[in-house]
Amino acid sequence: MEGPSQRDIDEKLRELLAEDVGSGDVTTESTVDADLQASGALIARSVTTVSGLPIARRVFELLDFGLAWQDEMPPGQGVSAGTTLARLAGRAREILTGERVALNLLQRMCGIATATRRFVDAVAGTGCRILDTRKTAPGLRLFDRIAVRDGGGVNHRSGLFDAVLIKDNHLRLSGGVRAAVAGARRHAPAGMRVQVEVESEDQLREALAAGADAILIDNQTPPTVHLWSEIARQSTPAPFVEASGGINLENVHAYAEAGPDAVSVGALTHSVIAADIALELEKT
């Protein structure tokens, strides 16, 4: 799955900078000389998995095209507290103006990557993948999805526009599984994957009979996920099987061993614990 374009990233970053800077950085412009140069380092103050350094760099570059930057750690690298993540040098005013937006994104992305890595490690050896969800912060989805990938996870659909996922409310309002799948086949773009969320074995069998490409087993126990995965794989062709609902670090291995192709975890992005990262600057 392709990531966002640089144009999309720049557009979003300019929006975030405009939100913070508004008519101008009054504090910096009042206290720091316009000609002053500064250098510094981004330093992890907590154990974390690295994500978002290119995004942080771009925040500063949009304010100072002459910025010098050196990554010290690659994306996906686990680091301890005290590790230098990157070094930068440029115009002091612009660095200070971009600091909060850059750090907000970097800390959030490292937090997401760290959580994702923990889930990925917890299912290692099972063949099961960890997926994200649409439970992202409004306006930050493109950054959240990058962070999931840096943590070793896999992105689910980008939004409502690039895959069909028929959920419980769709089923109630459309007349059931067969009607919903038939409607999706008629109206969705040709070749688009159709996935159905199922909460009973009857719904599962109806989705399989209707020709769903993917099954989402929601809010079931690992033994039920195992049984329903086996039933699904008796179909030809066998659908993609995903499990979700109430999955955490304590039970994710059991769900992975139950046999789905993937487990989706909303907590990767909706309950982020941001990494502690500091920008330390000095005059040059």
Q: Of 100, 118, 178, 185, which one is the catalytic site residue?
A: 100
Contact by Cβ (8 Å): 170, 212: no
Give the strand pairing for 240-244 and 84-91.
unpaired
53-66 b/e (C-beta count within 10 Å ≥ 16 → b): bbbbbbbbbbbbee
Residue 69: beta bridge partners? 88
- Please name the residues in contact with 142: beta carbons below 8 A apart, sequence gap of 6 or more: 3, 4, 8, 9, 12
Please, is 146 exposed, middle or buried when counting C-beta atoms within 10 Å of its C-beta (0-12, 13-18, 19+)? Answer: buried
Helices (H), the chain: 6-21, 26-31, 53-63, 92-122, 141-150, 168-174, 177-187, 201-210, 222-232, 252-257, 267-270
Is 167 a known active-site residue?
yes
Give me the phi and psi of 32, to 5 degrees please. Answer: -120, 130
Q: Of 25, 64, 144, 197, which one is the catalytic site residue?
A: 197
Q: Of 135, 185, 205, 233, which one is the catalytic site residue?
A: 135
Q: Of 150, 218, 242, 261, which one is the catalytic site residue?
A: 218
**CA dihedral sign, ordered 163, 165, 166, 170:** negative
Count how many Cα atoms sit within 13 Å of the Cα of residue 124 in the half-sphere of its side chain: 7
Is 218 a known active-site residue?
yes
Residue 31 token pair: 């206290």
Neighbours of 237 (CB within 10 A): 8
Q: Tell me, what amino acid is at 61?
A: E
Q: Of 87, 118, 134, 167, which one is the catalytic site residue?
A: 167
Active site residues: 100, 135, 167, 197, 218
